[in-house]
Every structure is written in structure tokens, then in C-alpha cells.
Structure 1
């Protein structure tokens, strides 16, 4: 695990964007699972502004680690946010964008998306392997859309599952733990003071840390990076 701590959210996004450019530069093809949230939004802005001409977008295939079960026109859609902040500003082939159909019935959609991953990605012991999975972490320690109250979904046999938000009841399609931990690289983007307590518990492996899905992220490759601002890392010794 590599901890990368920067001054603020903006610097986290700038440093992550440089890391991303470095990861993709020598690849013939690159498959990445995106995250939603406020920090990825800034990352997408920086990639669009500073890297639009520096990265060969035609070799990058985009997927989502999780998606809310809403239409692609809905403001809650991770896909819509990515279109607005990245895809509309770069030259990426439409066939390289593999969105979750949030408007569809969640269970068949989770199966369809799992099948898509099997077809498009190389597999390691039958599990689709991303080149990079980008993750966020909620104040409750959830990651992708695996929440503490449904932590058993982490170990699900399927590559994708239907998860339920604990408060709103909203359905979401999410990749599972085995897909995350099979990725060549996994990167957390975690910012803000509200995350500090869970960051301390998970990284310090304090009592009860295994109840948080984010604590179960442990890629077989060993390539796990936490990009954090000072606020999120403020309780680390």
C-alpha cells in the first residue's frame, strides 16, 4: 500500500491525473473502471484541461465500478457526470465507453455488465482483470457500491451485483471484491475531513476495521495507492 498525501483536493486530482497519464502512456490498450464522486469530477476536469492532447484516448476503454440505477440523463448518474466533465471535452471513440444501463432492470443489467467484462477484459482464473480500478470511499467506509450492511456482497460469486443504498433504498449495480482485487492497479481517491476517522481505522487496521468494505481492498498485484488530502489523512500517525 502506498499513501500519497497532498495539500488539498485540487492537488490530489492533479497528482492522480499525472499518475494516470504515466500508467497509460506505453499501453496498446487500457481498461479502467471509473468512480463517481466529487474528487473524480475534479480529476476529469484536469484530464480534460491539461491532458486532452497528451493522452491517446483511442486506446482507453472506460467502465464504471458502480452506477446508480437511474437514466443516463439523471443528475445522479455517474455516467452523465463523466460525459459532462470528461468525454464531451476529449476525443474518445464512442465504442470505448461501456456504461452501465442504469435505466434497465437492475438484476438482468448486473448480469449483462458482468458478461461484458468477461468478453472485453483478459481474465485471471476466470475473473476479469482491469488495468486500473479507481475507487472512492464513503464516510461509512463503503467503496464502489458495497455498503457495510451488505458486506457479504464483496465475496459474491458474480462479477457484478445489485446493491441497495442503506438510507435511500436506491438500487445500484456494482463490481464485486474479487474483480477489484484482481485489477493490476487500484487507486483510492479520498478527500475531506469527514473521511479521516475511517481512513485511520482502515489503514491503521484498528478494531472493527473489517466491517468496512474499503478495508477489504487488497489487490493480488500489491499495487494499491491511496491519494488523499491532508484533511482525510489528518488522523494518521
Structure 2
């Protein structure tokens, strides 16, 4: 298991920024699926600040591993967060942005995104294969927008699934497990003390770890801050 621990979120962001820079230098096209959350936000800020003119953005195509069914201008949109912290600050080609159309109803948005991925991402093992899928993890052990109470969505035959937040009922579109696990590399970015218990259970395979969707991710590269790693 590949586990990398950093002093704090900013140190983690610096490392991921350098990784993405190196990857973009060595490939003609890089298909990356992003996540929401505060850790990716720090990475986007790092890329915008220190790699604005270093990365050839024409090589990079961005997708999202999950998205809330809200318009792209909504403050809860993962796309908007990426736009505000990265896309609006660098010379990024609009045609390389492959967002979930959260302004549609959840089933339409899901079907539209399946079509978009099928058309634009090369297949390996009869499935679209991303170069990098970036994931976060919730304090409840969810990843992407697959929550423990809907863990069966992980095994869907579809590459994307309609999902729903267990408390708010907010509808979302999420990658399914087979699409996530078909990626060349999976970066699990987890920060904060509230994640420490689940991180330890999943990595050490303890207690009810199999009930957490995050435990179903195969061979991820773990990137943790010291707080998230504190119970390892």
C-alpha cells in the first residue's frame, strides 16, 4: 500500500502540484477526474499560482468524479470551485473542460455524462480509462458521491450513477466503482482529524471497514496530512 503523509494540507498540495506538472510533461494528453472539497481547492490554488505558465494546459482534459445537481454558477458546484480557483486563472482551453451538466435533472445529467466520457476517453478493459482519478473521503467513509447507505451503487453496471446525499437528499451524479478502479492511477487525498478514524479502519482493515465505499477503491495512492494519519 502506497501511503504518503505530509505535515499539513499545503505541503500535500505542493506535492500533488509537482506530480501533475511532471505527468503533463511526459504525456501528450492527460485525462484527469477531479473531486470537490478543501484539499483539491488548495491544489488548484497551487497550480494557478506556481504552474500557470509552466504547464501546457492544452494537454490536460478535466472531468469530475462527482457533481451536485446544481447550475454551474451555484456555490455548491464542484465545477464552479475548480473554475474559481484554477480555470479562471490560467489559459485553459474551454473544449478540454468536460463538466457534469448539473443544471439538468439527475437522470439526464447522468446519461449525458456517460455519453461524454464514452466519446472522449480511450477504453482499456472495455471501459474508459482515466490517467488519474482524484478522490476525497468523507468522515462517514464515502467517496465520490457513493455513500455507505447506497454502497450497492459502487457495483453498478453503468460507469456513472445517480446518487443522493443521505441527509439533505441532494441529488448528485457520481462515477461508479468500475470506472474509478479502471483508472491508471487513483489519488486518495484525505486531510483533517475528522477523517482519521475511517482512514485507520480502511488502511488497517479493521472493524466494519468493508461498509465504507472508500474501502472498495483498489490500489490507491494515499496522500494524507498528519491529522488524517494520526490513528495509523
Q: What's the TM-score once normalised by structure 2's chain length?
A: 0.98
- 1:115-163 CA distances to partner (integer Å, 9 max, x unpaired)? 1111111112321100000000000000000000000000000011010
Over 4 Å off, 4+ runs: none
Name the SS for the 2:88 alignment partner: helix
Counterpart residue number, 2:230: 234
**Equivalent runs, 1:159-178 vs 2, <5 Å:** 159-178=159-178
Report the CA distance between 1:54 and its aligned residue: 1.2
1:27-52, Cα deviation, whole Å (9 max, x unpaired): 01110000000010010000000111
Task: Note the alpha carbon deviations across 1:18-77, whole angstroms, 9 max, x for none.
Answer: 111122211011100000000100100000001111110011000000000001111000
Q: Give the match for residue 11 of structure 1.
A: 11
Structure 2 CA distance, aligned partners of 1:215 and 1:127?
A: 21
Q: Where does residue 225 of structure 1 map in the other structure?
A: 221
Structure 1 CA distance, aligned partners of 2:60 and 2:163?
27
Measure how far apart 1:207 and its partner are.
Answer: 2.1
How far residue 208 of structure 1 moved from its aligned partner, in angstroms, is 1.2
1:16 deviates by 1.1
SS of aligned partner of 1:72: coil
Q: Which residue of 2 aligns with 1:90?
A: 90
Number of equivalent positions: 232
Alpha-carbon displacement from aligned partner over 1:182-217 (angstroms, at most 9, x marks no partner):
000100110000000000000001121110000000
Structure 1 gaps, min length 5: none
Q: TM-score, normalised by structure 1?
A: 0.96
- Aligned pairs for 1:3-152 within 5 A: 3-152=3-152
Superposition deviation, residue 229 in structure 1: 0.5
Q: Which runs of 5+ in 2 are unaligned?
A: none
Q: Structure 1: how far apart are the matches of 2:229 and 2:15? A: 16
Question: For the residues of structure 1 that align with 2:78 and 2:36, how far apart are their CA atoms?
Answer: 5
Counterpart of 1:200 in 2: which secondary structure? helix
CA distance in 2, matches of 1:108, 1:125: 26
> Aligned partners of 1:133 and 1:25: how far apart in 2?
18
